[in-house]
């Protein structure tokens, strides 16, 4: 295991770090943005952004666990890519340039994840009902659909997502492959919440819940009237 580095040393090295200087400034439709921001335990080394699609990749160092790692941002969802976490700076310098094209491709709006065959078997990719849903409800817009689902964390895939970017509110629908369940989560002003209002065993059950609750639920979410579990 690599020795822990002093946080101040990492911060001071970052502006002249050859590793960052040699990364491409544009790749797969993403634009390189210099880092330097410190947020609590986290130093952002640099980012790749696609502003129009609300997607970005952050390369960070966290002094909480002494790790270098990539963090994906899609809409209001932010999650660490645990495949490439390391405390070894030299390993990070070697691995990231090799996997960067793949990381950004995975963030592309047109990317389909490796779990696609399982989603197809479950009927998610062939699901036509979502096309009857409004593209916009109040300040919410339909951001992610089953045409291009997002591989998420904890064996879950996001396949439907209504987002109000202006107010950082969200109603997101997921399928968990291990539990074989459909469920939803919310964000209110960026704060995540657990709900059970859209728990379903299959897409037919979910269709019924969407038909019954969706528009009114988003209205309550916008008004801050949803009670979290």
pLDDT per residue, tens digit, the chain (229 aa), is 456 789 999 999 999 999 999 999 999 999 999 999 999 999 999 999 999 999 999 999 999 999 999 999 999 999 999 999 999 999 999 999 999 999 999 999 999 888 888 899 999 999 999 999 999 999 999 999 999 999 999 999 999 999 999 999 999 999 999 999 999 999 999 999 999 999 999 999 999 999 999 999 999 999 999 987 7
Contact criterion met (CB below 8 Å) for 74 and 107: yes
CA distances from 147 to 109, 129, 131 (A): 10, 12, 10
- Secondary structure (3-state) at 214: helix
Contact criterion met (CB below 8 Å) for 201 and 181: yes
Contact criterion met (CB below 8 Å) for 37 and 57: no
Q: Hey, what are 210's tokens?
A: 């969407």
Q: Is-above-0.85 flag for pTM? A: yes
**pLDDT (0 to 100) of residue 114:** 82
Among all chains, which residue has been given the structure tokens 């990317």?
Answer: 111
């Amino acid at each position: 295991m690599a020795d822990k580095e002093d946080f101040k040393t990492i911060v001071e090295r970052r502006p002249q770090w050859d590793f960052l200087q040699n990364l491409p400034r544009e790749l797969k439709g993403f634009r390189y943005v210099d880092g330097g921001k410190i947020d609590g335990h986290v130093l952002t080394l640099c980012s790749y952004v696609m502003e129009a699609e609300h997607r970005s990749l952050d390369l960070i160092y966290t002094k909480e666990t002494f790790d270098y790692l990539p963090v994906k941002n899609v809409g209001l969802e932010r999650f660490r890519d645990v495949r490439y976490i390391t405390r070894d700076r030299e390993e990070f310098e070697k691995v990231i340039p090799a996997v960067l094209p793949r990381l950004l491709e995975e963030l592309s709006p047109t990317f389909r994840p490796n779990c696609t065959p399982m989603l197809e078997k479950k009927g998610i990719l062939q699901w036509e009902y979502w096309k009857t849903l409004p593209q916009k409800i109040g300040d919410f817009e339909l951001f992610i659909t089953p045409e291009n689902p997002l591989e998420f964390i904890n064996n879950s895939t996001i396949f439907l997502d209504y987002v109000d970017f202006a107010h950082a509110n969200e109603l997101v629908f997921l399928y968990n492959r291990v539990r074989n369940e459909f469920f939803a989560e919310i964000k209110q002003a960026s704060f995540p919440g657990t709900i059970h209002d859209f728990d379903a065993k299959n897409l037919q059950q979910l269709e019924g819940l969407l038909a019954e609750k969706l528009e009114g639920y988003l209205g309550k979410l916008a008004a801050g009237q949803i009670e979290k579990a």
